Structure 1
C-alpha cells in the first residue's frame, strides 16, 4: 500500500491509496482538476471513492470523476441526492477494496452521518479529528462528537491519523495556549512549521502523539479545565468539549 495526498481548494487534502498495480482509491474528492492532474502524473487508475461525509469540499469532484470513470464504485455513509452511492456503510461494517480490508467506524459530530475508514494502522477520519484539534460540531451533536473522539481514542496507539484539512499549525498554537509547559507540543510545532515552509504535508499524525498534544483528547486535564474556566472535578466532559470548541472557533 502506498498513500499519497493531493492538496485541493484552500486547505483540504484528498488521500489516495495505491496498490502495486497502480490501481487506486480516492478519499473525499472535493475537487476535480487537481485530482485528475495528479492521477495522470502518478499514472494511476481509480476504482473506488470513499466518502466520510457530504460537505461540498469533500464531494465536489465526484460527478466529474464519474463522467471520466463511470465504473467507479462509491462508498459512503448514506444515500446522497447528487450521485449514487453503491455501498451505504454503517458502523462496524467491513469492506474489501483492492484486497485492503476497511472497518467502518461511525464518527458523527461534525455531521450526523460522518464515518471513518480504518485499515490497520491507517485511519481516514475526514473532519472529525484533526492533528491537535477536532472538527466543528454540528448543533445538537456534541454528545455524538464526544463519543466519536472516544471511539478513535480506543484504537491502537500506532494508528496513523489521516484527516482532511491542513489545520495543524494553528491547532498547535491553540494547544500551546492551553498547555503552556508542554515541551512535546512545542517540539512538534517547530517540526510542522518547518515541513509547511518546505511545502510538505504535516500529516499523518499518530494517535499516541495526539493523546499527548490534542486538547480535545484531554478534556479531563486540569489545564483544559482552567482554560475553559470549568474547574469542578465533577464537570461533565461534554461541557468542556463544547466550551473548548467554541474557544477554538474564536482563536486566531
Structure 2
C-alpha cells in the first residue's frame, strides 16, 4: 500500500494508505477537504477511517466523509465523544481493512481513551507519540502516560511512526536542551531542519530512531534522569517521576 501524508490545519497530518485498487484507509481526518481533494486528484476513494482519539482536529472531517461516501467504516475507541464511529475497537484487537491486518493498542495519557493502530509496517500514534516528543496529558496521569510510551517503545523498531502533527523541529529544540550530548538526536535535528526547508514532512520516522533520540522514550536512561533531576533540583529515582518532571518541563519550555 502507498502511504500519503495529507497536511491539514496549521500542522496536522491526515494519513492515507492507498491500495492498488484505489480504496484507501484514512487516519484521523480532522478535515474532509484535504482527503476529498487528494482522492479526486490522485484517483482513490476512502474505504475505512481509523480514529485515535476524540479531539476535533482528528475527527472533525468524518461526518462530511461519511456524507460523501455512504457506508464508510469508521473504527474508533469506545468513547461517546466520537459519535461517528461505526465500530468500537479496543486494546489487543486485531482488525482487517482492505486485506491489511491492523492491531489496536491502548495508549491513554493524552486522552483517557486514546488508541494507536499498527500494521506490519506503520504505527499510527495520533497524539500519543510525536517525533522527539509526546502529547500533553490533558486527561491522563503520569503512570498512564509512562505505561503507554513503554508499550509503544516495545513495538518492532522497524515500524514507521506516523503521528498526528508536524512538531519535530520544535520538539528537537527541547530534546537537545535536555540531552545535548546525544549525537543521534543532533543528526535527527539537522535532518528535520533540512526537510522543512525543502517543505517536506519530517514523517514518517522509524521507531528505532525515536528510541535513540526521543527523551520521552528514554526516561530510563541516566542522561535523561540526570537532566530532569538537575532541572528540578532534586534527585529522581522512579521513572514515573522522571517522566512527570520531563513533561512538566516541556509544558513550560520556551526558547
TM-score range, shorter chain: over 0.9
Q: CA–CA distance in 1 between the matches of 2:142 and 2:51?
A: 22
Please identify runs of 4+ aligned residues in structure 1 that moved more than 6 A. Answer: none
| Corresponding residue number in structure 2 for 1:26 | 26
Q: CA–CA distance in 2 between the matches of 1:140 and 1:180?
A: 29
| Corresponding residue number in structure 1 for 2:73 | 73
Partners of 2:76 and 2:82 within 8 A in 1: no
Which sections of structure 1, spanning at least 5 residues, go unmatched?
none
Partners of 2:63 and 2:84 within 8 A in 1: no
Structure 1 residue matching 2:117: 3-state secondary structure: strand
* 1:240 maps to 2:245: no
1:112-171 C-alpha deviation (Å, 9 max, x unpaired): 100111111211010000111111012442211111111111111111111110000111
Moved more, 176-185 or 190-199: 176-185
Partners of 2:111 and 2:140 within 8 A in 1: no
C-alpha RMSD over aligned residues: 1.4
Q: CA–CA distance in 2 between the matches of 1:219 and 1:102?
A: 28
Partners of 2:109 and 2:148 within 8 A in 1: yes
Moved more, 221-230 or 210-219: 221-230
Which sections of structure 2, spanning at least 5 residues, go unmatched?
none
* TM norm structure 1: 0.95
Partners of 1:79 and 1:85 within 8 A in 2: no
How many residues align structurally? 251
* TM norm structure 2: 0.94
| Corresponding residue number in structure 2 for 1:58 | 58
